[in-house]
Structure 1
Amino acid sequence: MIYPPIYPGAARWARRLAPWVLLPTVFLLSFLTPAMPPLRWFVDEPWGADRNAAGWLIGGLMVAGALWATWATYRARRRPAALYACAGVLWWATSVWVTLPIAAYHAATRLDRRRALLFLVAAGAAVVLPVVLGGIAGGQLGGALLLALLTAGVGLALPFVFGMWVQARRQVLAGLHERARWREREEAAAVGAARAQERARIAREMHDVVAHRVSLIVLHAGALEVNAPDERTAAAADLIRTTGRAALVELRAALGALREPDDGAPLAPQPGVDDVPGLVAQSVAAGVPADLRVSGGARPLAPVVGRTAYRVVREALTNVHKHAPGAAVAVTLRYEPTRLTVTVRNTPPEPRPAAGAGEAPSGNGLPGDGEAPSGNGLPGDGEAPSGYGLTGLAERVALVAGRLAYGPEPGGGFALEARLPAGVEEAT
């Protein structure tokens, strides 16, 4: 979610330009305004005989006061007390009012409410008192009182009220931002809980249905192995039982990945590229003439790349088992300086007898026009083509910044090639 800035467009530009406009203005006004009675006293009384010296003194004081006011305004955020002291001293000594509204605005926006109100009362008294005393001394109390109230209202009250409004707006916007962030965190937590529940539901269904079915297959294969009429049948039953038990182990690992991290025991290590020879050996034991070739110097791979290479080979061999019985398979792992290329090629399947009534034809190993390839695009076994295996495999390869290509060979058969980045940096 993108939050609107607390200081949108024009206000942000105003904040950036404010120092370049405010500081010169403060200096000029502070320099030009102090032609007041406190300074005239130096000319009329002690320096009456030497007005030139008095002029230089007054000019120096005016420059010093203007520089002080500018410096105090510039350092107001880090040293607010310096701004408040400057405003009071300049007002009492030279009647310079420029820093009064700045100090009032700063107090309203930077201090808490109690301290800001105390500042307003103290500053109001400091502004009104010298004007009233001067009016009493001059016999013009009414005019002096009116001038004092006008000065306090324009120089203190209005900037203070405006500062309070700005501070309240900031607090409201900050509250809205915090509320939006809290709502976003709440929604993210709800989505995470929903995902966890869905994953737990999928894990339960897989455990209740798939694991149960595979367990029955393993059980019946074991019974067939014990009561096999000949050695060949016993070997086939043993292979079915062993493969089924391995499938159960992998299924339990998948179920553990679906569950929450603290919901079960630690998971077993995931297979990688080093387990590809065992995968090929299992296919050979199942009757598939498979051959593994490794070219280039083997080098360490990122774990996620190794797992992806293993799954590419497993998916290709599974499709050969399902759709191309009797086909010879060549698995090649080619290590290159920056990548690993996994290639799986199979020859056309051995011809099978014509399918009987009620069975689907075996096909020719090529995907139909306008249809996605079934499995790996090899002949079917009477099942409807899905194409989900290769689609999911392509997505998995893309997750590690790899590329997957597959299709029929010119002379028959099928080829699958995955190019995977070798290093962790490339894979992530």
Structure 2
Amino acid sequence: MRASRRVAARLRLSPLKLGVAFIVVCLVAGVALFQKNRIITTVQPGHTIAVQFDEAYQLREYVSDAKIAGVPVGVVSEVNRAEDGTTEVTAKIDNDAVHKLGSAPSAAIRPTTMLGGNYYLDLKPGGTENGTFDGTVPAERTETPVELDKVTAALQPGAREGARSSIGDLDGMLRDGGSDALRDLVASAPDTLGPAAEVFDGMRGTRPDRDLSELVTGLESTAHVLSRREGQLDSIVRDLETTSQVLGDRAGDLARSTAGMPDTLDSTSAGLRKLDGTLTKLEKTAEPARPAVRELGTVLENLDPVLVKAQPVINDLRDVLDDSRPLVEDLSPTSIELESTLDNLRSPVLDRVNGPILDTLNSPFEGTGDYEGTGSNRPLYQEVGHMASNVARATMVDENGAMISYMAGVGPGSLAGLPISIEQLFRKLAGQEGVPE
């Protein structure tokens, strides 16, 4: 009985001791609670890997997750800064996840949201599936995120102001019915996904492994050229704004032009069909014309000095044209009267001229009767012309007045009254013509 009383006296504690004991238990529980992730990571089984980055970037020990394809497979256990400036991140991941990484995995630090916040270690399988992973991911197979604030810091102040204005305009558009339009777009999007996929597949070109990359390279070169000269792109945009304003002001004219475009296209199509035949004839004509075109160069070279010499004549010709203007004006009524005169020459008069008169003038002269044999093979108008020219030579006009010249001479036909002239006798002997009875 006395022994049990002694044990009870020993077990009986004072309130002070009980309070101290309670505080110690709470401190131990609090420390254990704050170190829960460390304790759980330490006690649970897994495999430790090391990942090297060029810089440390917001990974927290025993807080940041390690994921594969967005699925958590472990926790970052340690972040150490090396003397060369690199950072080595140690992560403890599940044993099954190690076999999924392959022989040469890569890693990246990614934010959980677009605006940042918490970050996690993203592990990407790589290499061969049956290969052995040595447990270390080198820095050349790692990457750090590019924050939105870094992107905006690289933009010019005007561009950032424009982005803020665009966001405000977007908000206004959504309030003014843009939300309903977006809902309609989302409702109709499933029906367009199939054709859109075909369009995207067509955008890859006939060489899917090269065409799209070459297009991106060309766009990059274009952007480089546009941004090479400072202010050039701004000038282009301002000109485009002016052009758009002009097009807006002339919207009515554009509408009328568009309305008349079908008829214009029909006329153009008909003209092109006719032009096709013209081009075919031109193609046939072009080949024979090639030698003349080749010589045209020489002609043009020699034409320059001729034009230089002709320039004074052309300059003087202006005065001649000015002086001839009254004459041309006087010829206008004369031409009108001449037209009426020519109208009067129709019918019987022109018929006689076009008939027996022209036939007589174009026929050779053949003598008849006493003049038989004195003709020639030349047309009558030539004989009349020769006679007129001989008469002109036989006449002259000088300060003494007009005179007619005569030249006396003797020929075979000078003897008259004979049954046959000497000239006809010689022709008879030559067998050219008969002697008249």
TM-score category of the 2 structures, normalised to the smaller one: under 0.3
* Higher RCO (C-alpha under 8 Å, 6+ residues apart): 1
Q: Scaled by the length of structure 2, what TM-score is found?
A: 0.18
Structure with greater strand share of residues: 2
Q: Scaled by the length of structure 1, what TM-score is found?
A: 0.18
Larger Rg: 2
